[in-house]
Amino acid sequence: MFLCYIRAQSTAKDNDMSELSQITFVFETVCTADCKFYFLVGYSKWNNYLVEQWKGRNRKQSYSYLIQSNNTVSFTWTFQRAEEFSMERNISTDAAKIYSIHITNVIGGVASQCRRCAVTSDKTESSCVPCPPGHYMVNATGACESCPPNTYIRASHPVGKAACVQCGPNTKRNRAHTACLSDCTFRVQTGEEAVQTYDFSPLSNVTGFTSSPRFTNRGLRYFHHFNLNLCGTEVRYRVAASCVDNVTESGKVVKGYVCQSTVVPSDIRSQSMVSSQPFIIGDSLIEICSINRKTHRVCDLCRSSDTTQACKQGRSATVRLRCNPTTNIKDGIMLPSKCSEGTCDGCTFHFLWESQHACPLCTTDHYREIVSACIQGIQKTTYVWQQPLQCYGGESLPPQKVSACVTLDFWLKFGVSIGLIAAVLLISISCYFWKKTRKLQYKYSRLMMTSGGKECELPTADSCAIMEGEDAEDDLMDLTHKSFFTKIKSFSRERTSDGFDSVPLKSSSRHQQEEEEEEED
């Protein structure tokens, strides 16, 4: 089963009910059994009403149908062979032929095409429907299969897996599965973890610009006017760039991502601007890519399916965006210097868009901090942008931060104080050990005196340890009654020539006498 349809709209007024429009077609059916040929009329794609049907074989004839409502109407022809199957019957010759279709009083001409019906469980006479969005029709069976993710359906050829077209890098399929769109954001991986994010939302509106003036052989000045729509969401995509023809009565309008028309200044005619010869340069978005990370260039590539004799592959446009944070205008679009009309071959167009909105969004990596000296216990931290600045929007500079600190003078005073304390402690320890050494020298000299002056012979002692109270007795000797400087002076004066110290000692008889006197007292 095949479906052929024509859409038409009447130009007559509603009050003229005699005849708004008429459709006439010439057809013929060749059948060897009970085949059927249907003619249906509908006011939507899903609802068709049976107007006339023919069974079996019908000779070549003409049929006319009057349209009496001022609405858009669709006409459908279906041909169905007999449902009963016979081994003896050859149904390959059964066919329905439509020789011509003529419609009167139609706006904008008539478009006609034929498409294959999808297999459906509904067996009504109007059950021929297309595949759902995102599905293609299998050639052999007529069944509908789902396309891979992030693909759209080629409208010109919705049959076979080739109808599924993969969306380009950094683009996403729309909800209707008919085109690829961009949400005006773009991300580039600059390192293992660093990511630069672009936001082209301010550039998504339709922007128009003109080339340098051109002159005809008669001196008439004209321009090439371009309209550009870089990106957009589902809603914004409907507001496409458009170019019109306001010279002829046809009023031709073309819409897409990029279009061009020839414009004549207003001083030539009474109109504000004369525009003619509009054509589409790009009506589908191919990809969004990064060209050079050092100069922060991003490209937006779109293509047009409108083919000509010179452009057999269609036209294409490449929009390069250059980061310039100092440019505050959105329409800073330039054409190539070698090709002042935007193209050198008439098929491939190049545009350079320099804007601050073409810069990546600023992050914490785009600024650095400067820490001031500690002045009166206060330290300031200021944030400045890295130069040259290659970002716009995004993160803003943090405010100046003030914190408490300790000056260098404090640490210097603290160090000097610690040094003096350490010096006093060291001197005290030295004096303590010097005094201990003097006591040991005294004890050694006493042992030498009690040994009888014989070398290598020491007196017999009951114990090697110091007797209890001996230290107390030593402390009461003459050395303890002398001052520190007197002891040092006498020590230097009493040293003999053989290197030994001469220390006055009490005799044993005198010592015994003193003990007896103490007992009597």
Question: Mind listing the pLDDT tens digit of every residue in the chain (521 residues)?
Answer: 444 444 445 444 444 445 677 888 999 998 877 788 999 888 765 677 888 999 888 999 999 888 877 777 778 888 887 655 554 555 567 888 888 888 877 665 555 545 566 665 554 444 556 778 888 888 767 778 888 998 888 765 667 778 888 898 888 888 888 888 888 888 888 777 678 889 888 888 888 888 888 888 888 888 899 998 888 766 544 567 889 888 777 778 888 889 999 998 766 555 667 888 899 998 888 888 877 655 567 777 788 877 777 888 888 999 998 888 888 766 678 888 888 888 988 899 999 988 888 889 999 888 999 988 888 778 899 999 988 888 888 889 999 999 888 776 667 878 888 988 999 999 999 988 888 888 888 888 888 887 665 555 555 555 554 554 455 444 444 444 455 555 555 545 544 555 555 555 555 555 555 556 655 55
Q: Residue 23's closest CA among 53, 68, 80, 58?
A: 68
Residues 6 or more apart whose CB falls under 8 angstroms from that of 273 comprise 246, 263, 264, 265, 266
**Hey, what are 80's tokens?**
């169905």
Instruction: Determine contact, residues 159/137, Cβ cutoff 8 Å.
Output: yes
| CATH (residue range 201-358) | 2.70.130.10
How far is Cα 341 from Cα 143, in angstroms, rounded to an integer?
48
- Token pair 């029709």 is at which residue? 137
Q: How many CB atoms lie within 10 A of CB 342?
A: 22
Give the domain ranges of the chain. Answer: 1-9+17-114, 116-166, 201-358, 364-404
- pTM score: 0.56
pLDDT for res 17: 47
How far is Cα 65 from Cα 74, in angstroms, rounded to an integer?
12
Q: Residue 297's closest CA among 196, 181, 202, 193?
A: 196
Q: Residue 99's closest CA among 60, 139, 135, 147?
A: 60
Residues 6 or more apart whose CB falls under 8 angstroms from that of 263 comprise 210, 222, 223, 224, 225, 273, 274, 275
Distance in angstroms between the alpha carbons of the first and the last residue of the chain: 151
φ and ψ at 515, to 5 degrees? Answer: -70, -40
